[in-house]
Amino acid sequence: MALGPDIRSYRTATTLAGTGVLDEGLRSYMLRVYNWMASGLLLTAIVSYGIAHTSLINALYPMVRTATGAMVPQPSLLAYILMIAPLGFVLVLSFGVNRLTATQAQALFWAFCAVMGASLTDIFLVYTGASILTTFLTASAMFGAMSLYGYTTSTDLTKFGSFLMMGVFGLVIAMIVNMFMGSPALEFAISALGVLIFTGLAAFDTQRIKADYVQFGYRFGAEVAAKRSVFDSLQLYLNFLNLFLFLLQFMGQRRN
């Protein structure tokens, strides 16, 4: 499936479906994608905030006395499991989207967002609530601007896709290396590159979703459209969440 805008495919689609019908279908489809993304982020925020501000946080991050006598929160086994669990949901949704029903895909998406929220409760232990909110609003503005650019621009962003994905793999490798090195300089570089990469992916994936619908959307049935909207919203959700987390390392005010 093509990842970039294809003018010939657009003409074919409009010939078969009619320009007005296609444009209306595209707007409806993109609205559905954004609604799924926003709903998922809201669920993630509610779960994360709810756990962090109740006694449930003690099951994930119990207080442990250090060698100096200070009491500090330490991740439990359950916390480590929750950190890894979202990857399983992403793999199932990504590789099983064609086998899942729309209802199954939607249920997995909700479960993924809830588990992701549980895995992010530690940010409330590290950063102040005010700085988390400020960072979230900043990330929302940046993501919204870049997604709008990706939707409206006539520039083909496909050529940047491979570089952005290479950047993602490079980030993962660098983060694993820095787990052992503990280098502040490398951590700063990772955060800066993370912001740039996921800002770019916000525009790239928005254009890809639009182009895919233009090329193939007129053939979508209700079931296929429902499943694909969930999968496409997952891509944007992950772009936003990673942008927010990397920004938080710059803007977040740490607790004393």
Predicted pLDDT at 219: 67
- Residue owning tokens 């993304």: 37
In angstroms, rounded to a whole number, what is the distance separating the alpha carbons of residues 41 and 48?
A: 10
For the chain, 256 residues long, give each residue's pLDDT as a single digit of tens: 333 444 444 444 444 444 445 677 888 899 999 999 999 999 999 999 999 999 888 888 888 877 776 777 788 888 888 888 888 888 888 777 778 888 998 999 999 999 999 999 999 989 999 999 999 999 999 999 999 999 998 888 888 888 888 888 888 898 888 888 878 888 888 889 999 999 999 999 999 999 888 877 666 777 888 888 999 999 999 999 999 999 999 888 887 6
In angstroms, rounded to a whole number, what is the distance separating the alpha carbons of residues 99 and 62?
A: 40
Residue 25's H or E segment, with its range, is helix 19-52
* Residue 239 amino acid letter: N
Predicted pLDDT at 198: 94
Residue whose C-alpha is closest to residue 194's, from 147, 159, 241, 162: 241
Predicted pLDDT at 3: 38
149 neighbors 203 (Cβ within 8 angstroms): yes
Residue whose C-alpha is closest to residue 147's, from 37, 25, 8: 37
Sequence-distant (≥ 6) Cβ neighbours of residue 175 within 8 angstroms? 190
Residue 166's H or E segment, with its range, is helix 158-181
Predicted pLDDT at 22: 60
- Residue owning tokens 């007005």: 20
Residue whose C-alpha is closest to residue 132's, from 189, 52, 202: 52
